[in-house]
């Protein structure tokens, strides 16, 4: 099962169910009689809804992005791509109508900006926090939370794809 990104930025991710073991006495008896394993047969995977800022969200978003284009080369962030990505994230954050499409259209090098944002996601939550601090320092304004930054990155990557 693949990760699904919803319009509100949440991710529906597959979660493998916990393995269950039978108690020792009945397991020994069952193993001796039937030659079976102590573990019960596995059941179908379940899912979990992750919201931006929630534990594991950044990693799941990076995996979702990889699923969109599995043949893409490993992400590489360039200085100009990162600078343009910081400007983009700031512009979307301060935009009164949260105009992602308009800001993406204004990019000089959308591919480099997308790669820079993917690079941020691959680094996990600390990378997102560091990126948000860089955006604040470079662009001014209030410090974005990791939650806000990750949500904007996801929206931008969706728009770029």
Q: Which DSSP category does 141 fall into?
A: S
Q: Which of 15, 32, 50 is the last residue of a domain?
A: 50
Q: Lowest mean pLDDT of 31-35, 64-68, 81-85, 103-107, name the range.
A: 31-35
Q: Stretch 147-159: mean pLDDT, rounded?
A: 90
**Do both 16 and 92 map to the same domain?**
no
Number of H helices, E strands in the chain: 7, 3
**Do both 107 and 69 map to the same domain?**
yes
Cβ neighbours for 80, distance < 8 A, ≥ 6 positions apart: 109, 112
- pLDDT one-digit tens code per residue, 1-40: 788 888 888 889 988 777 766 665 555 555 555 554 455 5
Output the CA–CA distances (angstroms, integers) from residue 84 to 52, 102, 117, in the order listed: 22, 14, 10
Model confidence at 51, pLDDT cuts 50, 70, 90, reads: confident
> Going by DSSP bridges, is the β-strand pair 11-15/46-50 parallel, antiparallel, or unpaired?
antiparallel
- pLDDT one-digit tens code per residue, 88-132: 999 999 988 878 888 888 888 888 999 999 989 888 888 899 999
**Do both 73 and 139 map to the same domain?**
yes
**Do both 94 and 39 map to the same domain?**
no
Output the CA–CA distances (angstroms, integers) from residue 116 to 17, 19, 36, 38, 99, in the order listed: 34, 39, 51, 48, 20
**Do both 71 and 144 map to the same domain?**
yes
**Do both 38 and 77 map to the same domain?**
no
**Do both 24 and 85 map to the same domain?**
no
**Do both 127 and 144 map to the same domain?**
yes
Compute the distance between CA of residue 25 and CA of residue 30 in angstroms, rounded to an integer.
9
pLDDT at 54: 79
Which domain does 128 fall in, by range?
57-160
Q: Could you tell me the sign of the dihedral formed by the alpha carbons of 63, 148, 100, 114, in that order?
A: negative
**Do both 64 and 42 map to the same domain?**
no
Q: Stretch 141-151: mean pLDDT, rounded?
A: 90
pLDDT at 36: 47
Task: Concatenate the DSSP letters of all residues of 48-92 into one string.
Answer: EEE-TTSTTHHHHHHHHHHHH-TTPPPP---HHHHHHHHHHHHHH
Extract the tokens encoding 87. 């400007």
Structurally, the chain folds into a number of domains equal to 2
**Do both 87 and 12 map to the same domain?**
no
**Do both 143 and 76 map to the same domain?**
yes
**pLDDT averaged over the chain?**
81
pLDDT at 140: 87
Compute the distance between CA of residue 114 and CA of residue 22 in angstroms, rounded to an integer.
49
């Amino acid at each position: 099962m693949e990760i699904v990104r919803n319009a509100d930025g949440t991710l529906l991710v597959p979660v493998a169910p916990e393995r269950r073991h039978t108690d020792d006495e009945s397991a020994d008896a069952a193993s001796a009689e039937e030659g079976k394993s102590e573990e019960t047969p596995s059941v179908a995977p379940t899912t979990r809804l992750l919201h931006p800022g929630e534990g594991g969200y950044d990693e799941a978003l990076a995996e979702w992005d990889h699923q969109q284009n599995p043949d893409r080369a490993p992400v590489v962030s360039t200085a100009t791509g990162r600078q343009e990505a910081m400007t983009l994230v700031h512009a979307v954050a301060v935009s009164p109508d949260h105009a992602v499409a308009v800001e993406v259209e204004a990019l000089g090098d959308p591919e480099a900006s997308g790669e820079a944002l993917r690079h941020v996601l691959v680094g996990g939550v600390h990378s997102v926090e560091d990126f948000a601090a860089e955006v604040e320092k470079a662009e001014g304004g209030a410090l974005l939370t990791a939650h806000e930054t990750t949500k904007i990155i996801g929206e931008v990557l969706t728009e770029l794809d």
